[in-house]
Amino acid sequence: MRTLAYTPPILRGFSAASSFYSRFVDHPTHVIVIGASAGGMPALCQLVAQLPADLPAAVLVVQHFAPDSSGQHLVERLARHTDLRCKLPQGGELVEPNTLYLAPPDRHLLVKDGYVLVTKGPHENHYRPAADALFRSAAAYYGPNVIGVVLTGMLHDGTAGLEFIKRSGGLTVVQDPQEAEFPSMPESALSNVAVDYVVPLSEMGFLLTRLARMPLASVKNIPEDIKLEAAIAERVVGTTDEVTRLGRPVPMTCPDCGGSLWELKHGQLLRYRCHTGHAFTADGLLQRTQHGLEESLWVALRMMEERKNLLTNMASRGEGTYSVQQEERIEEIKLHINRLREFLLNGTSQNGTTPEADAPDPAADSGNPLSPQS
């Protein structure tokens, strides 16, 4: 029950008003936070159709979709399948029961002190909106009154978020990966978090309704690192001092901005983040760096093709020993080009080696026509 007789100003990040207000607010409801990606809209439609109009919980949803998608169209699609009020929030709305809030395109959906926040903060696990960002903010302010749900999707978003919820005393639910259209997100969650419930979609609505009708718990003992990370996300960017409180610097750079990375020391899940706010699970960082490696290999392939063409032109103009040397270098670089192309197309070269093993060492390449050896 709210104990203030007036409505506070819209809360956006930190302010004196929000700090004052947070000391007096009892969180009046459960919150159900849902993350979905590939195959998510049909799954969401099936799930929300099972939720009653008097659901004593707010439902906040992150569905990955393109930045230029029509969020309003998706809200209307969900509204056709449920009696819950469905909103595409702009930020500043009260978090109310029997209401569904869908994260807008290319914006993070967060909660703070009983209000919805919409920000354009840094990507997390290469997503915006990110389920991890929503789950963390809900864990920081609603603690044991949060129910976190991961549905069908690719990669790892939502895994760290479920751990935040577990460490704050909340409950976690994952769609049975055997029935998920894309099982990667559910499988990642189950591999890294002690999930409370694994259920098919046909049973999930009944389960969530039952959990939302449980008595509310006091919001106490939220881990300090979760509250700090949530605060950084609210302000969009943090400081190196704040991130140092969360973990230790490691000799790696952020694949999104090139800044230094910190390895986070809290919880069981290995995670990394930079001070600007990009955050990754270890699996997500590995996936992101793999993408960068592939881009670099395509650049290397282009440069070797250009080098081959240059050597071919030089050989066609030379005679005698010089021409023979260039022909030998052309054959050598053709071999490297073929191996690299094979790896990029099939994931391995014909001899089963990695591209690092196949790629020529530029520093040791005596065939460089511009080097002193030529």
Q: Which residues pair with 35 in a beta bridge?
A: 62, 150
**Does 225 participate in catalysis according to the annotation?**
no
Kindly name the residue from 18, 30, 37, 184 that is annotated as catalytic: 37
Question: Which residues fall within 8 angstroms of residue 85, CB to CB, at 6 or more apart?
Answer: 96, 98, 99, 100
In total, the chain counts a number of residues equal to 374
CA distances to 126, 139, 145, 156, 274 from 132, in Å: 11, 10, 17, 9, 15
The per-residue DSSP string of 308-354 comes to HHHHHHHHHH--HHHHHHHHHHHHHHHHHHHHHHHHHHHSS-TTS--
**Does 157 participate in catalysis according to the annotation?**
yes
CA dihedral 325, 331, 336, 337 (to 10 degrees): 120
**Does 137 participate in catalysis according to the annotation?**
no
Kindly name the residue from 132, 157, 225, 358 that is annotated as catalytic: 157
Backbone torsion region of residue 352, taken as left when φ is above 0, otherwise alpha when ψ lies between -120 and 50, otherwise beta: left
**Dist. CA 341–CA 337, nearest whole Å:** 6
**Dist. CA 173–CA 108, nearest whole Å:** 21
- Residue 155 burial (CB count, 10 A): 21
Kindly name the residue from 18, 27, 30, 64 that is annotated as catalytic: 64
Residue among 126, 151, 128 at smallest CA distance from 286: 126
CA dihedral 94, 100, 106, 112 (to 10 degrees): 30
3-state secondary structure (DSSP) of residue 157: coil
What positions carry a catalytic annotation? 37, 64, 157
